[in-house]
Chains A and B, each alone.
Chain A
Amino acid sequence: MIIHQPEIFTREGYVILWAKTEMNTQRSGFPKYLWYRVPEKYASNLSLQSDAFLIPGLLGGMYYREPIQVRGGISPRLAYHLDEYQYVLSHTMSGAVQPVGIQYERLHPLNANPRAVGATFSGGVDSFFTLLKHAPQNQPNPEYQFTHCLFINGFDIVRKDNKRYKTIFAHYQKTLAEINIELVPIETNVANTIVPRLVYNQYPSVILAGSALALGGLFKRFFVASTYDFDMIQKGIRCSSTPLMDRLLSTETLDFEHHGANYARAEKVAAISDWKLAQENLRVCGMPELGTNMLNCSQCEKCTRTMIPLYALGKNSKFTTFQRPFKSNKDLLRWARKFSPYSGFVRETFKFIKKYKPSLLPWLRIAAFLGTIRYCILRLIPGFVKNMLKNYGYFNDHLKEENAFDNTVVLEWIRHHEKI
């Protein structure tokens, strides 16, 4: 696999950083072009290094067992750690990906002196918690205070929800400006190196680290908000984003920090529960095609899992972004509707409720019991029935839809630019 020298062009108020990938063998669905798009005012912050393309490209190489040749410049520090990164990734994802050789044409650090400190900001529990800890008013060390955040189009919001992305972005941009943090919109198709081949939510660092490296001229330190805590990581949860692996992606000019793994998710919810900014803006829902102004459906597993600790703390009513918040104990039974015994968060939810509102425990047990039964039934439904039900909107994976993460307009621009 060859990752070609990245290029930049400007069009219609945007600047696009892109690189061509060339596989040894034709691979259906693997993106021929990887790209990042930001508003023109960030043009000087884009990095022409290949770092941002090597991370997602490497995943493709590791999946297809194709050695990689990188034609652009690569950070020596990143190159040094990639052997270990690949080793740990393949060890964690046993069987799914394998280490491959990487041939570098040029090793040199980015010639820039970036100043910003930031993270991705999705509006979820993890990113609000990381923001809380690094907001200028809470983090005493100026080297660790956030100045910028990235809101990624092509991460948890798919292409067809573009309108929704824009609405949420405008809202969050205003919100973060209140605490002197600049929200930067970035759009990318690098998620296409994950889906449909690999399990999407197991490889978030490809998108997060890739986006930060693309803006290598901006960030000197970039935080990746943890999804899983150390207890889960130690037990072998399959995820490419861990405190160790994210750190291995650092370059000479950009330090990656994985933040928050020393807190369980329910503890993070508790930590942000009194923060007005979170109360008015929390967005945990992953459901597609929600109304433009609606942030949380209140029905999916993630919504209910977040509402439980909030309800236990008596803060549910203060969080205005849930369409249908819990109002009585028995509402906890809604957890059963989308419950997964393997989500990894069941144990901590019970532990949290036991500590803060033990009277909820019987309801929680019933919800878990009913949820497990539902889960088992779903597992037993034959494949052809599931296929049939897809016509009625069930069992559809919106992440695997065609062009879920690509923007045909940008692709056209790139093709045109390549011809020129």
Chain B
Amino acid sequence: MIIHQPEIIRKNGYAILYAKIEMAKKRENFPERLWYRVPERFAPYLKVQGDAFLVAGLLAGMYFKEDIEVRGTVSPRLAYHLEEYQFVLNLRTPDAAHPVSIQYEHLSPVEGNPTGVGATFSGGVDSLFTIWSHLPQNQPDPNYQITHGIFIRGFDILHNEKDNYQQLFTQYAKQASEIGVDLIELETNVVSITHQRLNLSYFYGPLIISAGLAISGLFRRFYIPSSWDYYTLQHTAHASDPLVDGFLSTDTMEIVNHGSTHRRIEKVEKIANWEVAQKILWVCLEAKFREHSWNCSRCEKCVRTMIPLYALGVLDKFKTFEKPIQKNREILWYARKFNLRSNYLSEMFPYLKRKKPELLPWLVVTTMLGYLRHLLITYLPKAVKHGLRRYGYFVSHNDAPDAYENPEVTQLIQGHYDHSST
């Protein structure tokens, strides 16, 4: 696998940083080029450094067991740690990630002295908690206060869901600016690397980090909001946690996985009275957007988030839930999408016992019903599941092989590439 020298295109008010990826063997639905697109005002911060492409491309190399040759420049610090990084990924996911050798053409840090502090800004519990923790009132050291957020298109929100993205971006940008954070619209196709190959819930870390590394001229520090706390990480660490994310730091950008010290429910509690969170929280897995209420209130993640907010008596302040829980018995909704593997029950019970014990009987009933449902679904024959797909069940909005590509950008890059070749 060859990761070619990155290039930058400026067009239509945007700047695109891209690099050609050449696999040793033809791979079905594998992107020919990886790219990141940001508004043109951020163009000066895009650097033709290979770090972002290596971090994302390495996942593909490890998955396909293809050694890597990097034609662009790579940070010496990143290069130093990649052997250990690969070792840990392989130890944790031996079937999915195999160590490969990496050949570097040129090792050198990014030129310049970046000053920004960034984080991903998806509007979820983890990301809002990380932003909240680094507000000036909670983080006195200005070197750790977040100056920029990245809202990625082509990750939770697909390229063809432009309206949904814009709707959220507008709201997020407004709220972000009120707390002194400059929100960056970033579009990328990096998820095509793992799509239909690796479970995104486990391998999202390097992809998000690569987005931060793409704007390497801006960030000296970049936070990855943790999805897992230290209790969960004991059993389910994969490709994002405080240990492995840190290996992807470069000479000029420190990668910090933030928030593993708090369980998800504790994070919900911390942001429960934060007005910004009340206005923009977005946790929904269903991606059925309504104006100002972009959480369906039915999916597992919505209900799991609403329960602690309801227990704290602040759910009515969160305007983004379409149908918030209003009575104790409505907790039974949780049973409808209940997932035994979600790991959050262990924190839910003690929390409710402490905050609102009268909810416990309902949670017990929910767990029993949800468990039964989960068993039924698990043992449903494949043929039945397949049949039910035509009625909208067992269908994911990102099933298409090219779900994480944007043909418009791909064509633009191809045009630029053809032009520069001739």
Residues of chain A whose beta carbon lies under 8 Å from any beta carbon of chain B: 76-77, 79-80, 83-84, 87-88, 91, 107, 141, 143-144, 230-231, 234, 236, 243-244, 247, 261-262
A243 to B83, CA, bound (A): 14
B261 touches A141 (CB 8 A): no
Nearest CB in chain A: distance from B247 CB, A: 8
* B134 nearest CB neighbor, chain A only: A80
Partner of B88, one of A76, A77, A247, A262: A262
A236 to B122, CA, bound (A): 33
A80 to B221, CA, bound (A): 13
> Hey, what's the 0/1 contact readout for B21-60 against A, CB within 8 Å counting as 1?
0000000000000000000000000000000000000000
Nearest CB in chain A: distance from B279 CB, A: 28
Could you list some 9 contacts between A and B, CB below 8 A?
A84-B261, A91-B230, A91-B231, A144-B76, A230-B87, A230-B91, A234-B92, A234-B237, A236-B234
B76: which A residues are within 8 A, CB to CB? 141, 143-144
Nearest CB in chain A: distance from B293 CB, A: 35
Whether A87 touches B261, Cβ cut-off 8 Å, given contacts A230-B87, A243-B84, A262-B87, is yes
> Hey, what's the 0/1 contact readout for B76-106 against A, CB within 8 Å counting as 1?
1101100110011001100000000000000
A141: which B residues are within 8 A, CB to CB? 76, 79-80, 107
A244 touches B242 (CB 8 A): yes
Whether A88 touches B87, Cβ cut-off 8 Å, given contacts A80-B141, A143-B76, A244-B242, is no
Interface centre among A107, A231, A262 (most CB of B within 10 A): A262
* B85 nearest CB neighbor, chain A only: A262
B80: which A residues are within 8 A, CB to CB? 141, 143-144
Nearest CB in chain B: distance from A179 CB, A: 20
13 extra A-B contacts, CB within 8 A, seeds A143-B76, A262-B83: A76-B141, A77-B143, A84-B242, A88-B261, A141-B76, A141-B107, A231-B91, A234-B237, A236-B234, A243-B243, A247-B246, A262-B87, A262-B88
A76 to B80, CA, bound (A): 25
Whether A88 touches B230, Cβ cut-off 8 Å, given contacts A141-B76, A262-B87, is yes
A107 to B107, CA, bound (A): 34
Whether A87 touches B230, Cβ cut-off 8 Å, given contacts A141-B76, A231-B91, is yes
A84: which B residues are within 8 A, CB to CB? 242, 260-261
B243: which A residues are within 8 A, CB to CB? 243-244
A84 to B87, CA, bound (A): 24
Q: How large is the interface on B (under 10, 10 to 19, 20 to 34, 35 or more residues)?
A: 20 to 34
Closest 6 CB pairs of A and B: A262-B87, A87-B261, A244-B243, A76-B141, A262-B84, A141-B76
> Hey, what's the 0/1 contact readout for B104-142 against A, CB within 8 Å counting as 1?
000100000000000000000000000000000000010
B91: which A residues are within 8 A, CB to CB? 230-231, 234
Does B310 make an interface contact (CB < 8 A)?
no
* A247 nearest CB neighbor, chain B only: B246
A107 to B143, CA, bound (A): 12
A83: which B residues are within 8 A, CB to CB? 261
Does B144 make an interface contact (CB < 8 A)?
yes
A262: which B residues are within 8 A, CB to CB? 83-84, 87-88
A107 touches B83 (CB 8 A): no
A77: which B residues are within 8 A, CB to CB? 143
Whether A244 touches B87, Cβ cut-off 8 Å, given contacts A87-B261, A88-B230, is no
B144: which A residues are within 8 A, CB to CB? 76, 80
A77 to B256, CA, bound (A): 12
> Hey, what's the 0/1 contact readout for B250-276 against A, CB within 8 Å counting as 1?
000000000011000000000000000
Q: Determine chain B's interface SS by DSSP, over half rule.
A: helix
> Hey, what's the 0/1 contact readout for B136-170 against A, CB within 8 Å counting as 1?
00000101100000000000000000000000000
A261 to B80, CA, bound (A): 14
Tell me the chain B residues, 335-394 only, with Cβ under 8 Å from chain A. Answer: none
Nearest CB in chain A: distance from B130 CB, A: 13
* B237 nearest CB neighbor, chain A only: A234
A107 to B260, CA, bound (A): 24
A231 to B143, CA, bound (A): 35
* B142 nearest CB neighbor, chain A only: A76
B141 touches A107 (CB 8 A): yes
Nearest CB in chain A: distance from B411 CB, A: 40
* B81 nearest CB neighbor, chain A only: A257
Tell me the chain B residues, 393-419 only, with Cβ under 8 Å from chain A. Answer: none
B230: which A residues are within 8 A, CB to CB? 87-88, 91
A402 to B421, CA, bound (A): 77
* A109 nearest CB neighbor, chain B only: B143
A236 to B237, CA, bound (A): 13
Nearest CB in chain A: distance from B242 CB, A: 6
A247: which B residues are within 8 A, CB to CB? 246
A303 to B227, CA, bound (A): 43
A141 to B109, CA, bound (A): 12
A144 to B143, CA, bound (A): 26
A234 to B230, CA, bound (A): 12
Nearest CB in chain B: distance from A169 CB, A: 30
A315 to B23, CA, bound (A): 43
B234: which A residues are within 8 A, CB to CB? 236
Nearest CB in chain A: distance from B261 CB, A: 4
Nearest CB in chain B: distance from A348 CB, A: 14
A244 touches B107 (CB 8 A): no
Nearest CB in chain B: distance from A314 CB, A: 28
* B230 nearest CB neighbor, chain A only: A91
Partner of B246, one of A143, A144, A244: A244
Tell me the chain B residues, 187-245 only, with Cβ under 8 Å from chain A. Answer: 230-231, 234, 237, 242-243
Nearest CB in chain B: distance from A340 CB, A: 24
* A107 nearest CB neighbor, chain B only: B141
Nearest CB in chain A: distance from B78 CB, A: 11
A76 to B221, CA, bound (A): 14
A80 to B242, CA, bound (A): 14
A231 to B141, CA, bound (A): 36
Nearest CB in chain B: distance from A144 CB, A: 6
B84: which A residues are within 8 A, CB to CB? 243, 261-262
B237: which A residues are within 8 A, CB to CB? 234
A80: which B residues are within 8 A, CB to CB? 141, 144
A290 to B333, CA, bound (A): 70
A177 to B16, CA, bound (A): 51
Partner of A230, one of B77, B79, B88, B261: B88
A76 touches B143 (CB 8 A): yes
Nearest CB in chain B: distance from A87 CB, A: 4
Nearest CB in chain A: distance from B407 CB, A: 41
Nearest CB in chain A: distance from B81 CB, A: 9
* A258 nearest CB neighbor, chain B only: B84
Nearest CB in chain A: distance from B131 CB, A: 16
Nearest CB in chain A: distance from B109 CB, A: 9
* B251 nearest CB neighbor, chain A only: A143
A234 to B88, CA, bound (A): 10
Interface centre among B92, B237, B243 (most CB of A within 10 A): B243
B77: which A residues are within 8 A, CB to CB? 143
B260: which A residues are within 8 A, CB to CB? 84
